[in-house]
Amino acid sequence: MKHTYYSILFAISLIFATSCQEQQKKMADLDPPIAKKVAKELTMHGDTRTDNYYWLNQREDQEVLDYLSAENDYYKGMTAHTEDFKKDLYEEMRGRIKEDDSSVPYKRRGYYYSTRYEEGYEYPIYGRFKDSLTAKEDIMFNCNELAKGHEFFNLRGINISPDNSMAAFAVDTISRRQYHIQIKNLKTGEIYPDKVDNTTGSSVWADDNKTLFYTKKDPVTLRSSHIYKHVLGTPADQDELIFHEADDTFSTYVYKTKSEKFIVIGSYSTLSSEFQILEASNPNGKFKIFSPRERELEYSIAHHGNDFYILTNKDGATNFKLMKTPDDNTNKDQWEDFITHREDVLLQDIDTFKDYYVLSERENGLNKIKIVRWDGADSYYIPFDNETYVALTSTNPEFDTEFLRFRYSAMTNPTSVIDFNMRTKEKEIKKEQEILGGKFDKANYRSERVWATARDGAEVAISLVYHKDTDPKAGGPLLQYAYGSYGSTVDPYFSSVRLSLLDRGFIFAVAHVRGSQYLGRPWYEDGKLLKKINTFTDFIDCSKFLIKSGYTSAAHLYASGGSAGGLLMGAIVNMAPELYNGVIASVPFVDVVTTMLDDSIPLTTGEYDEWGNPNDETYYQYMKSYSPYDNVEAKTYPNLYVTTGLHDSQVQYWEPAKWVAKLREYKTGDNLLFLDTNMDAGHGGASGRFESLKEYAKEYAFLLDLEGISQ
């Protein structure tokens, strides 16, 4: 029988697995940190839960910091034998990145805007060119200079004034997503003393070039709750409060329509939305309610000509439809159908241009882009011929143009930025992501989409990618990934980092479980609230399908997910630990009941429509039935690598810390359990394009080490 290199590699890995186990026995001399137990009784609806690790939620307590540091030291000690491999993986991943890279410039109000990186530097440089790309570059922000002296740095929300002379921008140096906004004069380079703290980072200029609207956060819950108006040159403490979102299940934001005629304040919860509008030429005017909020009525708005186009679920349009109303008469009673609801097509977005509108749709799990002339003279879909691709509209700020810019990638194809002529139907690839290192050839990889039957009969899609020399039915190593919440869909995108697994014989699989919108809005509705369990059982049933079909085996199946996907990881290791050899849970949301009962924790109240409100006993009992922390018990868990960030604002660090402490108390067997806390970062991990690769290198070294692969 003829064996490929990767088949041989897999066979050798089985031999190495034995020596790896012996090595792990030697490492057993390192004792894991054992968190002290301080019983905390939590009673609700007559039910008492005892939380022995509740004390870990004191971020400033030195004993807490010492425990996290001890866990970090244990992780480092137990993985010391992989240090060189981690470095090699990091260099390998970094070696694929074009370091002196730049984005495809886009044009707005006479300037071409671009983002570029210089070789050896972590952060982007934001620049622009007046009238032509051959003009001298005007550097607006060199983040490498601005980041000096900071362990973490993130600049976002660059917003150019209508006269092109100023840029509002926002910076976070803590990784808590609390940004301060400042204003830079792009002609002189001066940064004005105006400074607004504790914002979301985004802002909007009025037409007068001196009035700026922005969103502030609640300092405790971090909910986006207040819209303020700042006038250039005045102290921030004199800024006028324009709107307070009093309902703590809603958040708010502000933006300008693409037509630039209106400034819009949006309020949203999981199930409802509401907008207020004000002409941008009248910054001292009063915002007008577009249409009052109603429970379970969702809508978003786009402006064109003298009309608004409303993407909405009104009248039972589960997969959304498009409606139209005059911009001077916007109450929902005036809305008229423009594109009717379709049971089999999810309508996701609309982009407006002078002569065309562009619809972003999803049908049978696949992205579709439809071009339509306003006058009805032409209507067509951009053709795509793959089942594991991603096609999404990109930055399109220009109104009077016949070009649509979109991004295309597939699990085997690097991302391309494409300009598509909506009139001639010709396309120009402006840029395809370069994969350096001399080893990458897209022809070396294969992708496919398969369908697993869930226990209730639902068909769940799985997108797969692997090296052409890997036998997909040899039962080898496979990493299964999913998210499955908030209707967020993980599309089958390309990843240069992932090549480090594929080139070593791994298959990578995305399970499109319920809780996403992969198969439309009902797919999301069937994986939330009192149906959340479907997300977990879908993932498990996909795992069973992959094992039964020969793509992998329980000895070589791995799982990964982050945040709400980390909740998924916590649930599956409680429900079906025997299916997985190793699991990576990144910033995992695992203490569901306690968190959702604490409305002082950031984001809790806005989550009720996703998870349910445990102040209601029905939701309390349902959450408790799957909450990973509450369901830890004495059993053999898979090898686990758990990550968190001390400053995480989305999932507080103590959730994974408590979970690991409890797992240490209860788990049986000798499988690995690591908690790796980034003491300088938050939910998104390390800042900088290279530092984040070190986190991937840690994760991949964990997986590969379990397979006995060390180079």
CA gap 539, 574 in Å, rounded: 13
8 A C-beta contact, residue 571 and residue 628: yes
Our separate counts of H helices and E strands in the chain read: 13, 37
Terminal Cα distance for the chain, rounded:
26
CATH number of 5-95+462-706: 3.40.50.1820
Locate 337 and state its tokens.
């159908």
Q: Write phi, then psi, for 119 (nearest 5 degrees).
A: -60, 130
pLDDT confidence of residue 686: 54
Kindly tell me the burial class for residue 276, based on how many C-beta atoms sit within 10 Å of its own C-beta (0-12, 13-18, 19 or more). Answer: buried
pLDDT confidence of residue 649: 67
Low-confidence residues in the chain, pLDDT < 50: 1-26
**Residues contacting 358, CB < 8 A, separation 6+:** 350, 351, 352, 369, 370, 371, 372, 393, 404, 422
DSSP bridge pairs for 191: 184
pLDDT confidence of residue 27: 54
pLDDT confidence of residue 607: 86
pLDDT confidence of residue 53: 98
Locate 615 and state its tokens.
């102040």
Q: Where do the structural domains in the chain lie, given as residue ranges?
A: 5-95+462-706, 112-149, 150-297
CA gap 209, 283 in Å, rounded: 10
DSSP bridge pairs for 602: none
What's the chain's length in residues? 711
Locate 563 and state its tokens.
């945040």
8 A C-beta contact, residue 300 and residue 310: yes
Locate 276 and state its tokens.
């207020």
CA gap 443, 414 in Å, rounded: 12
**Residues contacting 365, CB < 8 A, separation 6+:** 449, 461, 512, 518, 519
Count CA atoms closer than 13 A to 594's CA, side-chain side: 26
Residues marked active site are found at 563, 648, 683
- Of residues 210, 267, 261, 218, the one with CA closest to residue 239: 210
8 A C-beta contact, residue 482 and residue 472: no
CA gap 479, 580 in Å, rounded: 10
8 A C-beta contact, residue 536 and residue 575: yes
**Residues contacting 100, CB < 8 A, separation 6+:** 116, 117, 118, 119
Count CA atoms closer than 13 A to 280's CA, side-chain side: 22
- Residues 296-326: b if buried by 16+ CB within 10 A, e if exposed: ebbbbbbbbeeebbbbbbbeebebbbbbebe
Tens-place pLDDT, residues 535-556: 999 999 999 999 999 999 999 9
Answer yes or no: same fold for 5-95+462-706 and 150-297. no
CA-based angle 57:488:366, to the nearest 5? 160
If residue 212 lies in a helix (H) or strand (E), which one and from where to where? strand 211-217
Locate 391 and state its tokens.
């096609």
pLDDT confidence of residue 650: 67
- Does CATH place domain 150-297 in 1.10.1040.10? no
3-state secondary structure of 337: strand
Kindly tell me the burial class for residue 187, based on how many C-beta atoms sit within 10 Å of its own C-beta (0-12, 13-18, 19 or more). Answer: exposed
CA gap 585, 597 in Å, rounded: 23
Q: Provide the pairing of β-strand 106-108 with 111-116.
A: antiparallel
Locate 495 and state its tokens.
């990843």
- Residues 464-500: b if buried by 16+ CB within 10 A, e if exposed: bbbbebbbbebbbbbbbbbbbbbbebbbbbbbbbbbb
